[in-house]
Amino acid sequence: MTGSSTWNGAAAPARDAQPGAAAAVSAPGDVAQLPNSPRSAGLLERLNRWLDRDHLPDPAALRSLYAATLTDSAANRLARQWADRYLAADAEERRCLLAGLVHAGIGLEPPVDHASRLFRRLYAESDRLALMVELRADMLRWRNQVAGLSALEQTLAVLLSNWFDVGMLELHHINWDSPASLLEKLIHYEAVHQIRSWDDMRRRVAADRRCYAFFHPRMSDVPLIFVEVALTEQMASDVQVLIDPARPLADLAKARWAIFYSISNTQRGLRGISFGNFLLKRVIEELLSELPKLRSFATLSPIPGFADWLGKRSGAEIQDHLADKTERQAAAQDPDAGARWVDLLRAAASGSGPESSRRTGLRLAAHYLQQLRGGDPLDPVARFHLGNGARIERLNWAADPSDKGLEQSCGLMVNYLYEPDQLDENRARLAAGKPRVSRSVQWL
């Protein structure tokens, strides 16, 4: 591409013809002469978008975002313009803007240093940390469609991990007196158990519940990750009881367990930048400070990969974990035995199948939760909690018979137990390929 190195909306750089566009079109006036037909209307729309994009800077201009010093006023002015344009753009234009960035950086050495300078400039000139998070979210979305975008994404991920160092995060307790705008964000971002109404929201932050979130001081209105906690007398085994908005308040004086029943990350652009383990550690400290009679800390967690994993297993792969001889014989030569068991367990958990399948379901789930790939647990939630030093404490039959619970895990849920003085030992056992499991799970 050739043309002006300025970007002011008045002097647009000349561009080569877009593949598939009419070569004869050279000015907006030419477009009006096209025939009036559905096909031409679609072409008109494409050409108008192309002409609109003539106001984007060409790679020669964008190259200064990488190469110029961080004190270069012209490059910094261009960075502010680019950031403003990006924030106002729709998805299609954002992808075009990112492709332009990639193209402008081709050939610069060393590439990581130049890419780091690009993002530091954009952050400094836009003064918006949220923009950098949005940029990475979009890069993750399109990294397989835009050649070269993956390398930029990886550089930005390293910078974000520094900008979101856990030492900079602030822990806030969220309750019914928190701003309505913040409570609305929790409703929107809740990723585990949908918050269906304001009554539901009110119950989640009631006196026998706690909700804590991490915030960054430069994004003070956005919770980055939040955890919902139920304070109970016993280790919970049914999530529908915990999230029932009509459930009466429990007596806090009798509470001995803190049950983490929902943990939600809110920013896709921070994927892989883990601070969930620090959140739980801080929350445990806060709870013990407020409620010193608490003795135990556990989760009531979904098993989101279980049904998909089981559905792909042949009878030969699972027969050793079936509960009785008849089941094992029936599955031995059945390549679709896993899929049949998924259907059977879903039916049983929803009350329309044989209760006798319960033990087999628990055995299969226990086996699945201990499966490793590359040294890490196969299930994503198990990967998080076992990696943080928890142990698999108990499996719960029909603990989540919601549509989502049946679809993902045949209604099963698991308690992961956090014992502060055992966390390091449990992590060492996981590293050795032997995740820590309670006796009750071992004996299934």
Active-site residue flag, 385: yes
Which residue in the list 64, 126, 262, 301 is annotated as catalytic? 301
The CA distances from residue 115 to 44, 54, 107, 155, in Å, are 36, 24, 12, 7
Q: Which amino acid is at 426?
A: N
Residue 103 appears among annotated catalytic residues: no
At 50 the three-state DSSP class reads helix
The answer to whether 175 touches 205, Cβ cutoff 8 Å, is yes
Are 139 and 152 a contacting pair, CB within 8 Å?
A: yes
Distance between CA atoms of residues 418 and 284, nearest Å: 10
353, 344 Cβ separation under 8 angstroms: yes
Identify the helix (H) or strand (E) that includes residue 140: helix 129-142
- Catalytic residue, chosen from 193, 216, 321, 385, is 385
In sequence order, what are the residues at sequence separation of 6 or more whose Cβ sits closer than 8 angstroms to the Cβ of residue 180?
Answer: none
Eight-class DSSP state of 13: P
Helix (H) / strand (E) element for 299: namely strand 296-299
What distance separates the 2 farthest-apart alpha carbons in the chain?
Answer: 80
* β-pair partners for 258: 231, 297
Helix (H) or strand (E) holding 145: none
CB 213 within 8 A of CB 226: yes
How far out from the chain centre does Cα 77 lie?
Answer: 34
Expressed in angstroms, the distance from the first to the final Cα of the chain is 67
Any idea which residue has 């081709």 for tokens? Answer: 106
Residues forming a β-bridge with 417: 298, 391
Report how far residue 242's alpha carbon sits from residue 255's, in angstroms, rounded to the nearest whole number: 14
Task: For residue 110, say if its preceding peptide bond is cis, omega within 30 degrees of 0.
Answer: yes
Contact assessment for residue 166 and residue 209, using Cβ atoms and an 8 Å cutoff: no
373 φ/ψ angles, rounded to the nearest 5 degrees: -140, 120
Neighbours of 66 (CB within 10 A): 20
What residues are annotated to the active site?
301, 385
